[in-house]
Structure 1
């Protein structure tokens, strides 16, 4: 391993692991990543849990106990996932304490089937915060149109939030507005704003997957030159929007009351195209006060051969806008791309959640006490 991960951390990028499992917790692997590879947070999602629990490693005893109690499959899934998040949060607690709550966080997502139901999302977020019962938890809420008022309500109750599934610049600005509106609600209730934290998960690689598919359909030399450039351009412009929002008079007033800025988090940073450098969505998105949540393969690749050369975002706003403008001139609709990605993102998490329910239900039936 090189010291690339340390350099990345020194540049102000918080390194989070985009994965969690019972085995990773009990084997000491998560602790090793924290101690040796500068990992200071963990994100989960329905797909991660579906893969972890379906693998079976470490879940047998809890599944057997749940089966003996005759719990519903939904209760079983929540008991299992919140147990993993609680244990991971305990492992990360020293980081949380050392950073004043900025890092050392573990994220758990509301039921993705509630993504278009504001009221149910808020209720689920409150329930998850109560179930995990750790101060270093982030409740993940998707940035759907229904999710935006949910974000405001949950932040307004003093619950820290990881806003997920952000693809468009317009929606990202709405997310930052929802966050500030939530802080204003919390302040009106006398809640200590310094205890509320948030990140906004801006998805990266999937943008290239969708745009590159459309560029291939155009097929011109100009289109080929633009391949694998949209995602980084989009993320860089998101950071520009972040700088604008968190230098506004509205924000300065909240900051005077102790509020913490909502950091941009680069999500989906594992490359989907094997022809691309495997550290692309790390090395090209280095800038202060951000988070990069990486699959383990991307984390290891960055540690092994990532080239961290300083800030690669703030001097590139003009070029980033030029890339998106050039793609638009080819007839590729940005608005359509980001809407397709949001819809697919919700559908994929719903599918993973349903798969998780199905596989857990099968295990509960297998382990249920046999009637005499």
Structure 2
């Protein structure tokens, strides 16, 4: 254990490392396989911002865009073809891990069009289309945890489709997500699906909580306020794990588990440190427990591999301390409910903006390709 790398130690502690990035370059160059081999990466997550960055930087997609332009494809069809092809190829790369872990790891996530976040029926239809197009057992369809998304999560799981629920910031919404998950599994069981084949993670965002709350603490400016900086994100995530432990030890869950269901694992997202004053492994080493996923940007993965100090479980038994942090923030006049609502809204706006940029860039690339042909 002492001679193992920090990422291997995380794996030994029961934490799964997923990379928060994907591109054609990563697939073709072998760099993704290298991360699997050397840094214990056992899955991948994507989002609209990741695809926007991948497709609009470099020339890796030029030939495919030219090919689709020649076929008369529109901009949305082109993006659908490109992103699903990347995800399907990544699923193939991770297939051995999926097989070795009975589908728990080896997962690759793809998100529904972010403009559908407030459209239940549209989200359900898009999720089915993505699942059918990728056509891999180890794909996860990402659905944002908006109020409208909750019903979609249940409906998609009921079809036997595995789901990554994303953009969770609040403990209350996380409870609603677990409820939607368990309701979906009950419907899937009633529909005749094998529950052991349905997988899900709940992506709870971490660093953005500190970014927003630290800004408010700086505005207050007192010593008491400054003492709380950098503590809210970890405290919030630790309390989410407490919710996970509570809601997956109920009689309702026991009935589903008896039928073969697997728990929806907590996933820590937004784990790159935004404030350089904090340790660059803060949202990794302080959030270790069995049965969870940490999806890391490569910079965070590299930092963890290089100098992360893994001390085992750093979540269990911390709940009183975590509650104390959130109560202290409320006592200073920082509204938890206001912060998490704002973060959800900003997160969705960011993804929609990235998607619109991607639409514009790919539209331009299609036009250029048509003129050149």
Bin the TM-score by the shorter chain.
over 0.9
Residue equivalent to 2:324:
322
The 2-side partners of 1:323 and 1:214 are apart by 15
Q: Check conservation: 1:89, 1:105, Cα contact below 8 A.
A: yes
1:20-62 deviations in Å (ceiling 9; x for gaps): 0000000011111111110000000000000000013321110
The 2-side partners of 1:180 and 1:25 are apart by 35
Q: Check conservation: 1:156, 1:182, Cα contact below 8 A.
A: yes
Residue equivalent to 2:52:
50
The 1-side partners of 2:77 and 2:318 are apart by 48
Say if 2:78 is the partner of 1:92: no
Residue equivalent to 1:250:
252
Q: CA RMSD in A?
A: 1.0
The 2-side partners of 1:222 and 1:177 are apart by 37
Q: Check conservation: 1:68, 1:369, Cα contact below 8 A.
A: no
Say if 2:298 is the partner of 1:296: yes
Q: Check conservation: 1:67, 1:369, Cα contact below 8 A.
A: no
The equivalences for 1:100-115 within 5 A come to: 100-115=102-117
Match of 1:155 among 154, 157, 160: 157
Residue equivalent to 2:208:
206
Match of 2:142 among 120, 140, 143: 140
For residue 146 of structure 1, give the secondary structure of its aligned residue in structure 2: helix
Query: What is the TM-score of this pair, normalised by structure 1?
Result: 0.99
Residue equivalent to 2:285:
283
The equivalences for 1:12-91 within 5 A come to: 12-91=14-93
The 2-side partners of 1:139 and 1:6 are apart by 27
1:86-121 deviations in Å (ceiling 9; x for gaps): 111100000000000000000000000000000000
Structure 1: runs of 5+ lacking an equivalent: none
For residue 258 of structure 1, give the secondary structure of its aligned residue in structure 2: coil
Residue equivalent to 2:7:
5
1:274-304 deviations in Å (ceiling 9; x for gaps): 1111000000000000000000000000000
Shift of 1:370: 5.4
For residue 292 of structure 1, give the secondary structure of its aligned residue in structure 2: strand
Say if 2:254 is the partner of 1:230: no
The 2-side partners of 1:35 and 1:286 are apart by 22
1:62-107 deviations in Å (ceiling 9; x for gaps): 0110111111100000100001001111000000000000000000
Shift of 1:369: 4.8
Q: Check conservation: 1:2, 1:305, Cα contact below 8 A.
A: no
Match of 2:130 among 117, 121, 128: 128
For residue 368 of structure 1, give the secondary structure of its aligned residue in structure 2: helix
The 2-side partners of 1:146 and 1:221 are apart by 41
1:111-148 deviations in Å (ceiling 9; x for gaps): 00000000000000000000100000000000000000
Q: Check conservation: 1:23, 1:57, Cα contact below 8 A.
A: no
Match of 1:171 among 156, 168, 173: 173
The 2-side partners of 1:349 and 1:152 are apart by 23
1:153-196 deviations in Å (ceiling 9; x for gaps): 00000000000000000000000000000000001111110000
The 1-side partners of 2:113 and 2:15 are apart by 29
Number of matched residues?
371
Query: What is the TM-score of this pair, normalised by structure 2?
Result: 0.98
The 2-side partners of 1:190 and 1:113 are apart by 32
Structure 2: runs of 5+ lacking an equivalent: none
The 1-side partners of 2:334 and 2:60 are apart by 47
Shift of 1:315: 1.5
1:301-325 deviations in Å (ceiling 9; x for gaps): 0000000001000121100000000
Q: Check conservation: 1:20, 1:49, Cα contact below 8 A.
A: yes
Match of 2:272 among 270, 273, 290: 270
Shift of 1:217: 1.1
Larger mean Cα displacement after TM superposition, 48-57 or 275-284: 48-57
For residue 147 of structure 2, give the secondary structure of its aligned residue in structure 1: coil
For residue 307 of structure 1, give the secondary structure of its aligned residue in structure 2: coil
